[in-house]
């Protein structure tokens, strides 16, 4: 019998590898370019690759925006493991999101009042994040 996927649909063995990689992320402060008011912006570093990570939480919504990169996708996968499926999983074209000149992946979790909008599939984020596991 094969292992049961997590609530995000990610196989347990693969999710364990993502958790291990997430624990190996090295964080540092990010330059204050284009960040939104009230957001926490950092740089995640793993295996000579980096991703800008912006997080913002207000009373009802938690937003995570990362560079469209393997390390950025890894940060999203780790957040999915901690928070469950988001209410929205989106992409931003290059330059469309301030501070993310190469494009961005955005996940939003809210109080459950909004409809689920997965313009980007979890499988696509996982496929990109697998490149960070090298």
Cα angle 77, 8, 89; round to 5: 60
Q: How many domains does the chain fold into?
A: 1
| pLDDT of res. 87 | 92
Classify residue 6: in a domain, yes or no. Answer: no
| Count of all residues that appear for the chain in the document | 134
| pLDDT of res. 115 | 77
Classify residue 85: in a domain, yes or no. Answer: yes
What's the pTM value of the predicted model, to 2 decimals?
0.90
Classify residue 31 by burial, with Cβ atoms within 10 Å: 0-12, 13-18, 19+.
Answer: exposed
| pLDDT of res. 36 | 60
- Is residue 132 predicted with pLDDT exceeding 50? yes
- Residue 1 — pLDDT band, cuts 50, 70, 90? very low
| pLDDT of res. 2 | 42
Query: Sign (positive/negative) of CA torsion 7, 9, 10, 12?
Result: positive
**Two tokens, residue 21:** 């990689």
- Is residue 116 predicted with pLDDT exceeding 90? no
Classify residue 76: in a domain, yes or no. Answer: yes
* Maximum distance among all Cα pairs of the chain, rounded to whole angstroms: 49
Classify residue 26: in a domain, yes or no. Answer: yes
Label residue 34 left, alpha or beta by phi (over 0 means left) and psi (-120 to 50 means alpha).
left
What is the tens place of the pLDDT at every residue in 61-97?
999 999 999 999 999 999 999 999 999 999 999 989 8
| pLDDT of res. 24 | 97
| pLDDT of res. 112 | 73
Classify residue 1: in a domain, yes or no. Answer: no
Classify residue 94: in a domain, yes or no. Answer: yes
Residue 2: φ, ψ to 5°: -80, 155
Whole domain around residue 100: which residue ranges?
A: 12-133
Residue recorded with tokens 């984020």: 125
Classify residue 3: in a domain, yes or no. Answer: no
Classify residue 4: in a domain, yes or no. Answer: no
- Is residue 3 predicted with pLDDT exceeding 80? no
What is the tens place of the pLDDT at every residue in 40-59?
999 999 999 999 999 999 88
Whole-number percent of the chain with pLDDT over 90? 69
């Amino acid at each position: 019998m094969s292992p049961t996927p997590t609530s995000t649909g990610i196989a347990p063995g693969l999710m364990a590898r993502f958790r291990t990689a997430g624990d190996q992320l090295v964080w540092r402060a990010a330059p204050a370019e284009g960040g939104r008011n009230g957001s926490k912006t950092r740089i995640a570093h793993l295996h000579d690759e980096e991703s800008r990570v912006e997080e913002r939480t207000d009373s009802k919504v938690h937003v995570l925006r990362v560079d469209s990169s393997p390390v950025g996708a890894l940060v999203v996968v780790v957040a999915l493991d901690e928070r469950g499926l988001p209410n929205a999983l989106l992409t931003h074209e290059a330059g469309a999101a301030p501070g993310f000149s190469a494009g961005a992946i955005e996940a939003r979790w809210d109080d459950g009042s909004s409809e689920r909008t997965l313009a980007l599939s979890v499988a696509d984020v996982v496929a990109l994040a697998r490149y960070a596991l090298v």
